[in-house]
Structure 1
Amino acid sequence: MMGVQLSSLSTLNYRNLAPGTLTFPAGVTGVFGENGAGKTNLLEAAYLALTGLTGVTRLEQLVQSGEREAYVRADVQQGGSLSIREVGLGRGRRQLKVDGVRVRTGDLPGGSAVWIRPEDSDLVFGPPAGRRAYLDALLSRLSARHGQQLARYDRTVSQRNAALRAGEDWALHVWDDALVKLGADIMLFRRRALGRLDELAREANAALGSLKPLTLTLSESTTPETYAQDLASRRAEELARGATVTGPHRDDLTLTLGEFPASEYASRGEGRTIALALRRAELELLSEKFEEKPILLIDDFTAELDPGRRGFLLDLAASVPQAIVTGTERAPGAVLTLRAHAGRFTAETPAALEVGA
């Protein structure tokens, strides 16, 4: 199977990265250096340019201190053609362009990249909101329509909540009809997609050596069939709380290891294994959908002290057409190795330019 390839990445005023351009070959690129050298920021910039996605709450966090705007550009081979993807960042502003034409995040090809991070353990042990965000972000990449439905649903919840806080009981039916239709579509799509995601995560968890089966299920606050009735039955509670308490925005992706909820009973090592299984499932699901392997971005493979999980990560990187792997040590088997220092990246082979040169 062919794969997406990041030909080059350019940054300007992005976090602590020095301005410049890096070019990447096929295969594994290893980036090593001390903590704080800019390795994670490099992967974050690449993921942003490839997918349009970022995990920060305020876009100005991505802009270098003392600057007002930042810029990232990726030259990407995907679907048999080369495209130029650009992201402009400012206070509360993100502008995406593909080949010079402004686009929305949902317009970018969904299967571009998968990013594996040490923080992924939060998917297991963190609150339901993080698991919902993981699931909805993945499903939005599989279906642009799902992403649009989610955006409309979130706006409707916000408008309905404003009516609840104002005590406008008489106006709620205006929002209820839209909420039920959008919410039912979201729940049904989640259910359909979860069947395959559960299968892939179960296989990956076993491949990582876990002796306990992993199961993914949805914990829903309502159903598509009963959503309207459930809203009506909780009207007094919602008016008292000033918030919509029923719907897919309150659901959870439940991870069960063996017979027990992983969030409560899994060890830290088991949680890390589950997180890796989820990312491996994401990689496989996107590959199946787009018939092309995404670029794999692995942040700090050296954080994995368990030899089995570390080997799994490195084998996974070698299995895709292109991967960028960071760590405090050199990644074995890398085609290109870059040394990171103070936001600059020096090639140990002549295949890349030095950022900031």
Structure 2
Amino acid sequence: MMVEEIKLIDYRNYKQLQLQFHPKLNIFVGENAQGKTNILEALYLCAIGKSFRTSKDQELVKILKDHAYIKTTISKTTDKTEIEILINKESSKRIKINKLSLTKYGDLLGNLNVVLFSPEDLKIIKEGPSERRRFINNDISQILPRYYHTLTQYNKILQQRNKVLKNYKGKTLDLEVWDEQLIERGAWLIVYRKKFIKRIAILAKLMHKKITEGLELLEVQYDSNIKIKEEDELKDIKEKFKQALKEIKPLEEKRGLTLVGPHRDDLIFKINGLEVKTYGSQGQQRTTVLSLKLAELELMRGEVGEYPILLLDDVMSELDKKRQNYLIKNLKNVQTFITTTMMEPLNIKSQEEYKLFSVCNGEINRLSLK
């Protein structure tokens, strides 16, 4: 899988831009706030349907303009796909795939698979469970679009159930209908997550072992507040979910909030038995995220048959030379887009396997290393 070209009109600080990409490595060099990350953001938008930097689409439109336009051409083993996104300041964005308008946002997922690695990804380790759930949801949705649909349904049911609980005023509270729907969707989410986390845990463990030359053992564990077991199947999960809701109902009535379910799931990362969030050094936290990102690449390749594209947003300066070299070495079969303020840390010598772009104030020029 590779992106052949991108076209931008009035997107962020770009008035009009059209770029053809190298099938392996594309490097964008420039000072901060010049527009490097905007290219990666546009590619991510074509894969996920939303920005990784803002939840407000209107921020993607160039100042003093009414709409922005993105077009990407993607080449796969079997065919080519053209994705177009029109972002309006006053209405919802419109998405087309091969000239056909999408009626459901979820239909975009899977047409372009991406793995994003940015300094913000340290939040996966350092911050709260919502960051780790976002990581899980984004990855599984790309691999398995029906997961996204199930997640959307679950969140709608959860919202309605919370509304009923919030309006509880000591009256008789009948949650049976909402409970049945919540359990049905939620149990499937847990099944999907169990499978995903089991596979990525194995891959991340292998990656981490190689990076640390066997000195560290990384564990990735699924932390469900329903307290499921590894051997539990769908029917077991449904029964445990039902029992958990029954036991916590008095507290939910008191707090006006649904307190159990996959919306409260978490991941635990351990190195040599110690939790990385609490006891890991900054270097260990960065290596954990790097291992996780490399594991994502392999997992997606295994599921869809092709490597996704990799977006590296200003992360090379965050890694020491050993980890930089390991990362570059493992990207031979992956189309990669790198933003950086300087070329030196990349240690790339062959001019035949990359395109180098200079970015300055919304203008991009092709360069060559001397």
Alignment of 1:52-91 (within 5 A): 52-55=49-52, 56-91=54-89
Amino acid across the alignment from 2:337: I
Q: 1:221 aligns with which of 217, 220, 225?
A: 225
* Residues 286 and 319, structure 2, Cα contact 8 Å, conserved in 1: no
- 2:93 match: secondary structure: strand
Q: 2:206 aligns with which of 189, 203, 206?
A: 203
| TM-superposed deviation, 1:109 | 5.2
* Residues 113 and 142, structure 2, Cα contact 8 Å, conserved in 1: no
Amino acid across the alignment from 1:12: I
Matched positions, count: 345
| Alignment of 1:310 onto 2:324 | yes
Amino acid across the alignment from 2:98: D
1:9-32 Cα deviation digits (max 9, x unpaired): 011222122322111122211110
CA distance in 2: counterparts of 1:112 and 1:193, whole angstroms? 16
Amino acid across the alignment from 1:345: I
1:206-229 Cα deviation digits (max 9, x unpaired): 122262211111111114131112
| TM-superposed deviation, 1:305 | 4.5
* Residues 7 and 70, structure 2, Cα contact 8 Å, conserved in 1: yes
| TM-superposed deviation, 1:178 | 0.1
Q: 1:203 to 1:105 in 2, by over 3 A?
A: farther
Per the alignment, residue 352 of structure 1 pairs with none
Alignment of 1:311-326 (within 5 A): 311-317=325-331, 319-326=332-339
1:313-349 Cα deviation digits (max 9, x unpaired): 32233x1242221211135245211000012110125
Aligned-residue CA RMSD (Å): 1.8
1:92-131 Cα deviation digits (max 9, x unpaired): 6232210111223432352622221121111111111000
Q: Any unmatched runs of 5+ in structure 2?
A: 229-236
Identity, in percent, stands at 28
Alignment of 1:248-327 (within 5 A): 248-317=262-331, 319-327=332-340
TM-score of the superposed pair, with normalisation by structure 2: 0.88
Q: 1:329 aligns with which of 336, 339, 342?
A: 342
Q: 1:313 to 1:16 in 2, by over 3 A?
A: farther
CA distance in 1: counterparts of 2:14 and 2:109, whole angstroms? 26
CA distance in 2: counterparts of 1:133 and 1:301, whole angstroms? 20
Amino acid across the alignment from 1:30: I
Worse-matched range after superposition: 22-31 or 276-285: 22-31
Worse-matched range after superposition: 279-288 or 299-308: 299-308
| Alignment of 1:133 onto 2:146 | no
TM-score of the superposed pair, with normalisation by structure 1: 0.91
Alignment of 1:332-351 (within 5 A): 332=348, 333=350, 334-348=353-367
- 1:234 match: secondary structure: helix
CA distance in 2: counterparts of 1:242 and 1:89, whole angstroms? 37
Looking at both structures, which has the greater relative contact order when contacts are Cα pairs under 8 Å and sequence separation is at least 6? 1
* Residues 117 and 315, structure 2, Cα contact 8 Å, conserved in 1: no
Per the alignment, residue 161 of structure 2 pairs with 160
* Residues 60 and 89, structure 1, Cα contact 8 Å, conserved in 2: yes
Amino acid across the alignment from 1:337: L
CA distance in 2: counterparts of 1:128 and 1:86, whole angstroms? 33
Q: Any unmatched runs of 5+ in structure 1?
A: 350-357
Q: What stretches of structure 1 move > 4 A for 4+ residues in a row?
A: none
Worse-matched range after superposition: 331-340 or 198-207: 331-340
